[in-house]
Structure 1
Amino acid sequence: MNNSKTKKMTTVGLLCAMAMVLNLLISFPIVPAVSFLKFDPKDIVIVIGGFIYGPLTSFVISAICSVLELLFRGGTILDILMNVISTCTFACTAAFVYKKMHTKNGAILGLFLGTLFCTASMTLWNYIITPIYYGMPREAVAAMLVPGIIPFNLLKCGINSGVTLFIYKPVVTALRRSGLVKESTGVSTGRSMAVIGGFMAVSVVLIICTMNGLF
């Protein structure tokens, strides 16, 4: 095994560990109408992995984290399925667009499209799977789509997109200094990207706080 492959495997393993730590430490509902759906920030790390190495890496990290989450938190095969679909429609879409359009605008466009695709796919899959998983009438799930499921996924992806833009440069810089990532790898995010990402994340957090009656 050559040195570059070893470094990639090490980096992917490190990103998996980071994603799982975030998943286990941070998990909470953000939309009152669907309190059974919980936000966790692991997708931020999974998107970063995809921006560095491509959409396949996002898929691999997502699959590994979903299986580990099942082992740590319990659940069923449906949990793995929903986790992988949610993460991959967001992270893999963003990584794929960025791979084709290797610019700052490509990163932003990828995250935007990932948000739309994730929201659309999870609206469909929650409508199909949630009645089976929770044993509730499909009509009840349909009634939760607009006030709950759709806003949850938009807000979740909005936070993840904003934080990704905000922290991407420091994370990749640290990986480069450690010798795990090549200098030429990754999107060139500067201060403006951090400002955009920070504004996005703070705006979504304020919306969530307002929805939960904290203001």
Structure 2
Amino acid sequence: MPERKIFIRKIAVTAIMTALAVVLMYLEFPLPFMPPFLKFDFSEVPVLVGSFALGPVYGVIIELLKNLIHLPATGTAGIGEASNFITGSIYVFTAGFFYSKHRTRKGAIISMLLATAVLAAVACPFNFFVTLPLYGSVLHFPMEAILGMCSFNPFITDKLSLVLWVFLPFNLFKGIVVALITFFVYKPVSNLINRTYAETREK
């Protein structure tokens, strides 16, 4: 296949996955037993599909475009989007890179489990040292107010316990759910992309 056609195809798939991710990002919702400032969405699914189909670099590009497009609607002065981009990029790049070296069903499973573990390991210190302090300094959202939203959990008493009891389980849950959905939808979506391209090429 000519390199130009491959590039055009990748750009088209990137645009489609970005559009899907943006729509899903707006369909966020709170989770039970989680503070209201943490919302869950399925926008990482098309990003991860793109990372598997096109490679980890394209996964990061889709992640970036998704958050840039969502930026005008933010209420967090871009802090939420920056955090989402960094943690999301780590997740999809890790999974996409491993899968690019092991393109099997087993490789896909291991790649997503590895990505979930890396996401949780990175998100905890990142939220502790970067995100939470930025909410306080930029948005003047004091730690006391954040802890007050977590009063449903008696184990949350300070910033460290907040990270361990809120951000750690949240990111583990998110990584696992996204991985499960992607595992079941990737093959049909990948086949559709390839078939659509083949049909277009024949015309």
Q: TM-score, normalised by structure 2?
A: 0.81
- 1:15–1:46 CA contact under 8 A, matched in 2: yes
**1:79–1:60 Cα change, 3 Å:** same
- How far does residue 59 in structure 1 lie from its aligned partner after superposition? 0.5
What residue identity is the alignment partner of 2:4?
A: N
Q: Which residue of 1 aligns with 2:166?
A: 148
Q: Which residue of 1 aligns with 2:113?
A: 112
Alignment identity in percent? 27
Q: Secondary structure at the match of 1:2?
A: helix
Q: TM-score, normalised by structure 1?
A: 0.77
Check if 1:99 corresponds to 2:100: yes
What residue identity is the alignment partner of 2:170?
A: F
Runs (4+) off by over 4 Å: none
Unaligned runs of 5+ in 2: 136-140, 148-156
Q: Which residue of 1 aligns with 2:24?
A: 22
- How far does residue 84 in structure 1 lie from its aligned partner after superposition? 1.1
Unaligned runs of 5+ in 1: 182-215
For residues 31 and 119 of structure 1, the distance between their equivalents in structure 2, rounded to whole angstroms, comes to 19
Q: Secondary structure at the match of 2:197?
A: coil
For residues 73 and 80 of structure 1, the distance between their equivalents in structure 2, rounded to whole angstroms, comes to 8
- How far does residue 87 in structure 1 lie from its aligned partner after superposition? 0.6
Q: Which residue of 2 aligns with 1:135?
A: 142
Of 55-64 and 119-128, more deviation after overlay is shown by: 119-128
Check if 1:32 corresponds to 2:50: no
For residues 132 and 198 of structure 2, the distance between their equivalents in structure 1, rounded to whole angstroms, comes to 41
For residues 103 and 188 of structure 2, the distance between their equivalents in structure 1, rounded to whole angstroms, comes to 19
What residue identity is the alignment partner of 1:135?
A: P
Q: Which residue of 2 aligns with 1:167?
A: 185
- How far does residue 160 in structure 1 lie from its aligned partner after superposition? 0.3
For residues 140 and 132 of structure 1, the distance between their equivalents in structure 2, rounded to whole angstroms, comes to 16
Matches within 5 A, 1:45-56: 45-56=46-57
What residue identity is the alignment partner of 1:115?
A: T
- 2:112–2:179 CA contact under 8 A, matched in 1: yes
Cα deviation code 1:49-75 (max 9, x no counterpart)? 010111100110001111111123343
Q: Which residue of 2 aligns with 1:179?
A: 197
- 2:42–2:178 CA contact under 8 A, matched in 1: yes
Indicate the RMSD between aligned Cα atoms, in angstroms.
Answer: 2.0
Larger Rg: 2
- 2:124–2:164 CA contact under 8 A, matched in 1: no
For residues 114 and 176 of structure 2, the distance between their equivalents in structure 1, rounded to whole angstroms, comes to 11
Of 73-82 and 108-117, more deviation after overlay is shown by: 73-82
What residue identity is the alignment partner of 2:195?
A: R
Matches within 5 A, 1:199-214: none
Give the alignment partner of residue 11 of structure 1, picking from 6, 10, 13. 13
For residues 108 and 173 of structure 2, the distance between their equivalents in structure 1, rounded to whole angstroms, comes to 18
For residues 50 and 108 of structure 1, the distance between their equivalents in structure 2, rounded to whole angstroms, comes to 14
For residues 63 and 9 of structure 1, the distance between their equivalents in structure 2, rounded to whole angstroms, comes to 14
